[in-house]
Amino acid sequence: MYLGVHVSAAGGISRAVEEGLALGCEAIQVFTRNQRQWRPKPLRAAEARRFREAARAAGYAGRAMSHASYLINLCATVALTLRRSRWALVDEIRRCEALGIPYLCVHPGAHMGAGEEAGLALVAESLRHAIARTTRRVTVLLENTAGQGTSLGWRLEHLAALLRVPRTGVVLDTCHLFAAGYDLRTPRAYEKTMRAVEETVGLERVKAFHLNDSKAGLGSRVDRHEHIGRGGLRGTAFRRLVNDPRWATIFGVLETPKASGMDWKNLRLLRRMRTEPPAGAGRRRRRTADAEPLVRDRARPVRRRGPRGRAGREEAEHPRDLGR
């Protein structure tokens, strides 16, 4: 499996490629627009060209993914939110087209009490709306969810039903799988989950992974990402995953909490777990796995104070929290 990180587009989206190279990424994930706004700034042609050229030179052209805005709810029960969500998805796909990014990751949505069957039907309708208005250069990847609230996609059967829409695939999040009740910790549990993937969505429709440990327990349906090896999944689950020959030609990206320096440390840990890097993966690294990071993670520090007023450790917002 090729390994990468969700990198920052602060200062211009082409800067994301620079950060990916500095971290030694073999793949990258980015936001192509402001996650807090329904009407983001337009993407300038010159900036799109710089990103395409930089991504091609770095070897990311086929291993880049954009994560859609968390404001989007493709089965919203409020008409205005649904309309905004559909056009936001169209805009996300068109940005990927302009940037040469082949994959767009999106959460199916939350049915808000309408029920799973009605929600899935509306998600499929929303996907068809966006697919009909965009070109074939971008595949929309549906992400499995932890199952909080009325979120759809926590069962693999939900994703399988949505794959009837053309130009769709799947990105599997390890934290979400675990929280939804799909175990990966032992050889037997791992194979049981992989069989479930094969029998529902199909291995060939899985195009990428989100590599995250879980603060919450198995089947908790609570979405809380943790650093690799520090949560309930343990390091053995990730060692098994990154060395699985079924996933040798696809990529996985980290979405772990953005504490200072942790992207580099999590990525280094995964690389050490991997017994053999995929073909050509090592050529694009600008430094060895044990070298000090060239850049600090671009994330907003948040000072937390302990019970007696002492400053706690610095933490940062995870990209997952930006749209909530």
**Cβ(19)–Cβ(298) below 8 Å:** yes
Give the C-alpha separation, 126 to 124, whole Å.
5
Helix (H, G, I), strand (E, B) or coil at 198: helix
What are the C-alpha distances in Å from 182 to residues 177, 187, 212, 274, 320? 5, 13, 14, 22, 21
Structural domain total, the chain: 1
Q: Is 234 exposed, middle or buried (0-12, 13-18, 19+ CB in 10 A)?
A: middle
CATH at 28: 3.20.20.150
Query: Does the pLDDT value for residue 301 go beyond 90?
Result: no
- pLDDT per position as a tens digit, 2-13: 999 999 999 899
Q: Among 38, 55, 66, 48, which residue's Cα sits nearest to residue 12?
A: 48
Active site residues: 36, 67, 70, 107, 143, 173, 176, 210, 223, 225, 255
Tell me the longest C-alpha to C-alpha distance in the chain.
58
Q: What is the pLDDT of residue 324?
A: 33
Q: What is the pLDDT of residue 282?
A: 53
- Global pTM reads 0.86
- Return the bridge partners of 30, or none: 66
Q: Which whole number is the average pLDDT over 54-73?
A: 97
Please give the share of the chain, as a percent, with pLDDT higher than 90.
81
Residue tagged 């989100």 (tokens)? 210
Residue-number span of the structural domain to which 294 is assigned: 2-321
